Chain A
Amino acid sequence: MDNFTVGVVVFPGSNCDRDVSWALEGCLDIRTKYLWHESSDLSDVDSIVLPGGFSYGDYLRCGAIARFSPLINALDEFVKSGKRVLGICNGFQILTESGFLPGALVANKNLHFICDDVELDIISSKGGWFNNRDEKQTIKLPIAHGEGRYHCDSDTFKKLVDNELIALRYKNNPNGSSYDIAGITNEKGNVLGLMPHPERACDETIGGTDGLFTLKSLILK
């Protein structure tokens, strides 16, 4: 894994790009490279993180404008090749807007911007993003969002359940998400989108290390 490099995408308005890079490099010794959103050359990176923030000011809808960047256009081939893509918070919103993941993320039910630690049940470890050893396992990760209410219709939900695509569910649903959903994968399992921030839970000194496993799994082949 000497040369394995994780691309961290930077949109105008991204604000968790440095946190992700810090967590990967400082806590896990994984090399990172910032990818400017105008770039469509993904040949130097082996997996990609779409970090949190407010890409393009979240104008129109969260993630709606970012979807048209050259980098997201190039992501289709990257995903089809089986390489891994992790969308955190705004990154999750971009993945749903661009159709890599089903459903949509809308304003929290109580309209609050919620900044808190939440307990999450690991429902599926499809793609190896979570350490789901045997019995039901719970992890704690921070959330920080105003528009994190996952919405999907009942047909989509059935598809998510039947294909084990629901990765995480909130124990105490903070934002009104349909079916308590906090994170999902695509059918292949190589794309994960989640509202909680694993990169903010990678060191005991900042409150926990439950995010390490997910970030570390970026280097899985």
Chain B
Amino acid sequence: MDQFAVKVFVRLRPSVLDPAGEATKSASIKLGAEGIKSLRIGKMIEVKIEGNGENEVRDKIDLLCDRLFANTVIEDYEYSLEKL
């Protein structure tokens, strides 16, 4: 069995308004940060998972992302995978 560290990034789709991102952008500007064109908030999920090789683990992570971690009606996901 190989073990992998996976980082999943879940983001609201560009077409979905992100009010939390807008509020944070507004606070960033009040802080004095200049030049912020856009600020959107997502989630990062870290998973340690074992399986027989990268392909099997990718299949598991794809299922998790598609069915649980993200709601694909409103969110996109991507992930990076590192063998431990």
Q: How close is A157's CB to chain B, nearest CB, in angstroms?
A: 13
| 29 cross-chain CB contacts under 8 A | A60-B68, A60-B69, A61-B71, A64-B68, A64-B71, A68-B68, A96-B73, A97-B71, A102-B73, A103-B73, A104-B71, A104-B73, A104-B74, A106-B12, A106-B16, A106-B17, A106-B74, A107-B19, A109-B17, A109-B19, A110-B19, A111-B19, A111-B20, A111-B23, A151-B73, A152-B73, A153-B15, A176-B17, A176-B19
A151 and B68 contact, Cβ closer than 8 Å, known pairs A109-B17, A110-B19, A176-B17? no
Measured between C-beta atoms, what is the minimum distance from B46 to chain A in Å? 14
A109: chain B residues at CB < 8 Å are 17, 19
Instruction: State whether the Cβ of A108 lies closer than 8 Å to any Cβ in chain B.
Output: yes
Extra 16 A-B pairs, beta carbons < 8 Å, given A97-B71, A108-B19: A64-B71, A102-B73, A104-B73, A106-B12, A106-B16, A106-B17, A106-B74, A107-B20, A109-B17, A109-B19, A110-B19, A149-B17, A151-B73, A152-B73, A176-B17, A176-B19
Q: How many A-B Cβ pairs are below 8 Å?
A: 34
B-contact 0/1 string along A87-112, CB 8 Å cutoff: 00000000011000011101111110
* Count of chain B residues with a beta carbon within 8 Å of a chain A beta carbon: 12
Set of chain A residues within 8 Å of B71, measured between Cβ atoms: 61, 64, 97, 104
**Shortest Cβ distance from B15 into chain A, in angstroms?**
7
Interface residues of A in 92-146 (CB under 8 A from B): 96-97, 102-104, 106-111
